[in-house]
């Protein structure tokens, strides 16, 4: 790989690191307003903590609508905190334990209005929340063998627990942790790769301004806030690749950038570095 700016940027992204927001987005959207946490976007963090015997840390809900049900420690991010700070706060509030994130395991999204970041994390201290310490955050916490019967708030955490157990047994991707860089919208930097008939690897670049990896931003119209964030990628690809038969699929997240603490510019946005190929 050469050492031009595009090659350097590609290496940074492939290493799971972050790149600053581009001067312009490659699919400027007509209504590109900064997103605002808890108003136009809701980010949720959840943690899968495993102990030395492979049990999963669970909390018992104190909320009225799911009272007594068990769930992973999880919660909505608050203003002016990073994603990792939110993870540590929610795990502490709901289980009593301190933790250190190992890697992002999954990012689930129902559009920019609801994005959940799930981490594999290690317990690093604190005292497991006992029944007598129950409060509005949770009734108690315990280690669960993820096999014996347990009334769950929702089964949507079971695939996340499986991902954690798989990763702990045999990591299938490099450690991926949020890079603290301010973004004002929910965007995706696309690493779109193609192999031609001579087996050369091509990477899509944008020539809007200096050559760079294309970055597409989600609209902030009510409809698009609830549409999958992938809509922004499809829009970009449709604009760039005039061959309708070429369909790109997203293959995974190489990294993500968010800061959320920028006092000068509202920076509740996130940028995902996404690998795509036909
Ligand atoms: C299918 C289901 C059940 C989805 C739940 C989504 C979720 C984890 C919301 C935030 O957690 P929270 O409700 O625990 O928020 P907080 O901890 O901030 O009260
Ligand atoms: Mg919670």
SS (H, E, C) 190-239: EEEEEECCCCCEEECCECCCCCECCEEECCCCHHHHHCCCHHHHHHHHHH
| C-alpha–C-alpha distance, residues 169 and 167, integer Å | 5
pLDDT higher at 192 or 96: 96
Q: From the CA of 66, give the closest atom in ligand 1.
A: 3
Place of tokens 């909505």: 76
Per-chain mean pLDDT for the chain: 92
In short, whether 153's Cβ falls inside 6 Å of ligand 1 is yes
Task: Please give the C-alpha separations between residue 100 and each of 36, 113, 119, 125, 275, in angstroms, as whole numbers.
Answer: 27, 27, 10, 10, 27
Interface pTM, i.e. ipTM: 0.92
Query: What is the whole-number distance in angstroms between the Cα of residue 50 and the centre of ligand 2?
Result: 18
**Closest C-alpha residue for ligand 1 atom 17:** 75
- pLDDT attached to residue 229: 92
**Closest C-alpha residue for ligand 1 atom 19:** 75
- pLDDT attached to residue 215: 92
- pLDDT attached to residue 249: 80
Domain locations in the chain?
Answer: 5-37+177-276, 43-169
For residues 243-250, average pLDDT: 72
Query: What is the whole-number distance in angstroms between the Cα of residue 10 and the centre of ligand 1?
Result: 35
Confidence check: pLDDT of 217 > 80: yes
CATH architecture of 43-169: Alpha-Beta Complex (3.90)
Confidence check: pLDDT of 28 > 80: no
The band of 224, judged by pLDDT with boundaries at 50, 70 and 90, is confident
For residues 7-36, average pLDDT: 84
**Closest C-alpha residue for ligand 1 atom 10:** 75
**Closest C-alpha residue for ligand 1 atom 2:** 154
In short, whether 24's Cβ falls inside 6 Å of ligand 1 is no
- pLDDT attached to residue 2: 61
pLDDT digits (tens, 9 = 90+) for 96-108: 999 999 999 999 9
- pLDDT attached to residue 30: 65
Strands (E), the chain: 43-49, 56-60, 70-71, 74-76, 97-109, 115-126, 140-144, 179-180, 186-195, 201-203, 215-217, 249-258, 270-277
| C-alpha–C-alpha distance, residues 169 and 161, integer Å | 12
In short, whether 76's Cβ falls inside 6 Å of ligand 1 is yes
- Secondary structure letter of residue 66 according to DSSP: G
Query: What is the whole-number distance in angstroms between the Cα of residue 253 and the centre of ligand 2?
Result: 25
pLDDT digits (tens, 9 = 90+) for 262-274: 877 789 999 999 9
Q: Which of 44-48, 223-227, 238-242 has the highest mean pLDDT?
A: 44-48
Selection from 179, 238, 199 nearest residue 26 by Cα:
238
Beta bridge partners of 49: 121
Percent of all residues in the chain with a pLDDT value above 70, rounded to a whole number: 96
The band of 242, judged by pLDDT with boundaries at 50, 70 and 90, is low
In short, whether 258's Cβ falls inside 6 Å of ligand 1 is no
**Closest C-alpha residue for ligand 1 atom 15:** 75
- pLDDT attached to residue 98: 98
Confidence check: pLDDT of 223 > 70: yes
In short, whether 62's Cβ falls inside 6 Å of ligand 1 is no
Q: From the CA of 90, give the closest atom in ligand 1.
A: 17
Asked whether the beta carbons of 173 and 166 are under 8 A apart, the reply is no
Residues contacting residue 129 through CB under 8 Å, at least 6 positions apart: 59, 94, 95, 96, 138, 140, 141
pLDDT digits (tens, 9 = 90+) for 159-186: 999 999 999 999 999 999 999 999 999 9
In short, whether 77's Cβ falls inside 6 Å of ligand 1 is no
- pLDDT attached to residue 29: 62
For residues 136-146, average pLDDT: 97
Confidence check: pLDDT of 23 > 90: no
For residues 114-131, average pLDDT: 98
Question: Which SS3 state, helix, strand or coil, does residue 12 take?
Answer: helix
- pLDDT attached to residue 1: 52
């Amino acid at each position: 790989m050469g050492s031009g700016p595009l090659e350097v940027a590609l290496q940074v992204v492939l290493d799971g690191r972050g790149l600053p927001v581009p001067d312009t987005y490659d699919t400027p959207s007509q209504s590109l307003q900064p997103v605002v946490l808890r108003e136009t976007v809701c980010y949720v963090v959840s943690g899968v903590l495993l102990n030395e015997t492979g049990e999963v840390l669970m909390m018992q809900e104190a909320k009225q609508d799911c009272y007594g049900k068990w769930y992973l420690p999880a919660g909505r991010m608050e203003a002016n905190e990073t994603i990792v700070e939110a993870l540590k706060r929610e795990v502490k509030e709901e289980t009593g334990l301190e933790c250190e994130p190992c890697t992002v395991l999954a990012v689930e999204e129902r559009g920019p209005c609801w994005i959940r970041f799930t981490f594999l994390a290690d317990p690093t201290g604190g005292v497991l929340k006992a029944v007598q310490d129950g409060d509005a955050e949770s009734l108690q916490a315990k280690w669960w063998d993820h096999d014996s019967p347990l009334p769950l708030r929702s089964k949507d955490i079971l695939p996340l627990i499986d991902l954690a157990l798989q990763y702990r047994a045999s990591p299938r991707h490099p450690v991926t942790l949020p890079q603290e860089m301010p973004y004002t919208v929910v965007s995706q930097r696309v690493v779109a790769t193609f192999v031609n008939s001579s087996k050369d690897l091509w990477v899509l670049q944008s020539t809007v301004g200096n050559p760079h990896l294309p970055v597409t931003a989600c609209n902030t119209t009510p409809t698009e806030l609830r549409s999958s964030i992938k809509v922004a990628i499809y829009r970009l690809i449709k604009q760039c690749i005039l061959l309708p038969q070429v369909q790109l699929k997203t293959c995974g997240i190489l990294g993500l950038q968010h800061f959320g603490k920028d006092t000068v510019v509202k920076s509740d946005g996130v940028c995902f570095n996404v690998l795509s190929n036909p």
